Amino acid sequence: MQKFDVIIIGSGPAGKTAAIQAAKLGKNTAIVDGMNQVGGVCVHTGTIPSKTLRETVLNLTGWRERGFYGRAYRVKADIQASDLMQRLNLTLQSEVDIQQDHLVRNGVNIILGHARFVSEKVVDVATANGDTVSLTAKKFILAVGTKTYRPDYVPFNGETVIDSDEVTCMKKLPRSLTIIGAGVVGVEYATIFKTLDINVTLIEPRTTMLDFMDQEILMHFRHDIINDGLRLQFGQKVTSIECRKNGSCIVRLDSNRAIASDMVLFAAGRMGATDKLGLDKLAIEVDHRGRIAVNPQFQTSCPHVYAVGDVIGFPSLASTSLEQGRIAVLDALGEKAHKQPEFFPYGIYAVPEMSTVGMSEEEVIRRKIPYEIGIMQLRETSRGKVMGLQSGLMKMIFSIKSRRLLGVHIVGEGATELIHIGQAVLTLKGTLDYFLENAFNYPTLAEAYKVAALHAHNRMMALQESA
């Protein structure tokens, strides 16, 4: 029996951060992961792979240059799945090497194998070579992440009907693709594959998508993707999926519509990877999606066990998972821990990308806060013209009474980077005057903050003059 102060199960963003934090406090720490390498879903099948594929597609297609050279412009005429996988494998191996080095340098014990609780403070780890290792600790951090939701009616076969984790194993690019589920994952992959000039149909049983986004930003996004040829089938449920002998797939909807394509990607949700953890030994319950309930310190109903990351549900972001891992282990070890950030940005790495922080206009209206907005088209900035941007929008929301920034919402190139300026001002309770009184590098897309703020200022002045 190997004894530790802390055992972390799962080596994704939350688990890695928790392990390193515990080790830096001088605790004997082990991290256990069921994959054959560290990194978790984030590195191997989720965040890093999808963003790598996006960047590869944008580069190989020449998408960023089409504003100058036209929609027919291509960097590589015949793009194959092997072109995507080559860069993907190089990126992932580099990421694994870096993360493993961080853990080793901090003295964290790495144990690869599937962990299962056999009692309140003992886990058995089934390793790849068939051995079972027993571990015990005073504290446990569960950072097992999620796995794809795979309903029985979907005939997954790993080739023509796949889930989002299997995208990284594609051997051939389809000519046509049907994606089921218009959440973040489905939308990202739909736009990435459409950029490859694949005929993509996106199916969603609801009539809306990405409801947490500011609706004006979402309207611009929908316009862009529809204009690019992406087909949206909303408000219709899938009733069956048929794989034919000729290799094609038929997706049937409750509207009696049938859609034929070379491949089907099911991306309608994920589940907490908790079914094989033996949580019954701890009297820890999970919801219908396998997620664990925690208190504000990420402590479960079992006091010496904490849970962090995607397995606890919202917001399910790698950025917030990093903070959760650190906060949980500090609390578990009796150290002072800071609170989670009040404002965290969302990034949707679609084509075009979107990002948001703070309140949407809809939320401001619900709260009945007197407000004004400032808007700037990214293509109208000097940097936007240099880059050949054809679309993109920044929207800022300010309180009329206090002039404080309430929210920033961006769609277009660089959105996920630009959002952090707004995040900083929000966190520091900054006002419209910050943007009016400070200079921004020229030419940059960040200049849009200044112009949008001036737009809001002018609208506020017009209100005062008319009063």
Same domain, 170 and 234: yes
Average pLDDT over residues 217-238: 96
- In a domain, residue 327? The reply is yes
Same domain, 37 and 127: yes
Same domain, 382 and 320: no
Confidence at residue 337, expressed as pLDDT on a 0 to 100 scale: 83
Contact 323, 341 (CB under 8 A): yes
Same domain, 45 and 106: yes
Same domain, 385 and 445: yes
The dihedral through the CA atoms of 283, 289, 294, 299 has a sign that is positive
- In a domain, residue 341? The reply is no
Q: Is the pLDDT of residue 360 over 90?
A: yes
Q: From CA 467, how far away is CA 265, in angstroms rounded?
A: 55
Confidence at residue 218, expressed as pLDDT on a 0 to 100 scale: 97
Q: Is the pLDDT of residue 122 over 90?
A: yes
Same domain, 254 and 206: yes
CATH number, domain containing residue 314: 3.50.50.60
Q: Is the pLDDT of residue 342 over 90?
A: no
- In a domain, residue 346? The reply is no
Same domain, 264 and 281: no
pLDDT tens by residue, 58-95? 999 999 998 898 888 989 989 999 999 999 999 999 99
Checking DSSP bridges between strand 263-266 and strand 176-180, what pairing results, if any?
Answer: parallel
- In a domain, residue 342? The reply is no
Q: Write the secondary structure of the chain as one string of H (helix), E (strand) and C (coil).
A: CEEEEEEEECCCHHHHHHHHHHHHCCCCEEEEECCCCCCHHHHHCCHHHHHHHHHHHHHHHCHHHHHHHCCCCCCCCCCCHHHHHHHHHHHHHHHHHHHHHHHHHCCCEEEECEEEEEECCEEEEECCCCCEEEEEEEEEEECCCEEECCCCCCCCCCCCEEEHHHHHHCCCCCCEEEEECCCHHHHHHHHHHHHCCCEEEEEECCCCCCCCCCHHHHHHHHHHHHHCCCEEEECCCEEEEEECCCCCEEEEECCCCEEEECEEEECCCEEECCCCCCHHHCCCCECCCCCECCCCCCECCCCCEEECHHHHCCCCCHHHHHHHHHHHHHHHCCCCCCCCCCCCCEEECCCCCEEEEECCHHHHHHCCCCEEEEEEEHHHCHHHHHHCCCCCEEEEEEECCCCEEEEEEEECCCHHHHHHHHHHHHHCCCEHHHHHHCCCCCCCCCHHHHHHHHHHHHHHHHHHHHC
Which of 238, 268, 298 represents a domain boundary (last residue)?
Answer: 268
- In a domain, residue 96? The reply is yes
pLDDT tens by residue, 269-296? 899 999 999 999 998 999 999 999 999 9
Confidence at residue 325, expressed as pLDDT on a 0 to 100 scale: 95
Average pLDDT over residues 193-220: 96
In terms of Cα–Cα distance, which of 113, 108, 109, 110 is closest to 131? 113
Q: From CA 1, how far away is CA 321, in angstroms rounded?
A: 30
CATH number, domain containing residue 461: 3.30.390.30
pLDDT tens by residue, 381-400? 999 999 999 999 999 999 99
Q: From CA 289, how far away is CA 273, in angstroms rounded?
A: 9
- In a domain, residue 153? The reply is no
User: Hey, which residues does 126 pair with through a beta bridge?
Assistant: 114, 132
Same domain, 264 and 315: no
Domain count for the chain, please give it.
Answer: 3
Same domain, 375 and 445: yes
Confidence at residue 91, expressed as pLDDT on a 0 to 100 scale: 94
Which of 299, 332, 365 represents a domain boundary (last residue)?
Answer: 332
pLDDT tens by residue, 16-71? 999 999 999 999 999 999 998 999 999 998 899 999 999 999 999 999 998 898 88
Average pLDDT over residues 308-323: 92
- In a domain, residue 213? The reply is yes
- In a domain, residue 344? The reply is no
pTM of the full structure: 0.94
Q: Would you state the torsion angle of the CA atoms of residues 37, 39, 41, 42, taken in this order, to the nearest 10 degrees?
A: -150
Confidence at residue 130, expressed as pLDDT on a 0 to 100 scale: 85
Mean pLDDT, rounded, of the chain: 95
pLDDT tens by residue, 246-262? 889 999 999 999 999 99
Same domain, 134 and 281: yes
Same domain, 293 and 383: no
Which of 268, 292, 308 represents a domain boundary (last residue)?
Answer: 268
What's the domain range around 13? 2-148+271-332
Average pLDDT over residues 196-220: 96
Average pLDDT over residues 199-216: 96
Q: Is the pLDDT of residue 467 over 80?
A: no
Average pLDDT over residues 84-110: 94
Q: Is the pLDDT of residue 152 over 70?
A: yes
Q: From CA 389, how far away is CA 97, in angstroms rounded?
A: 36
Same domain, 42 and 76: yes
Q: Is the pLDDT of residue 417 over 70?
A: yes
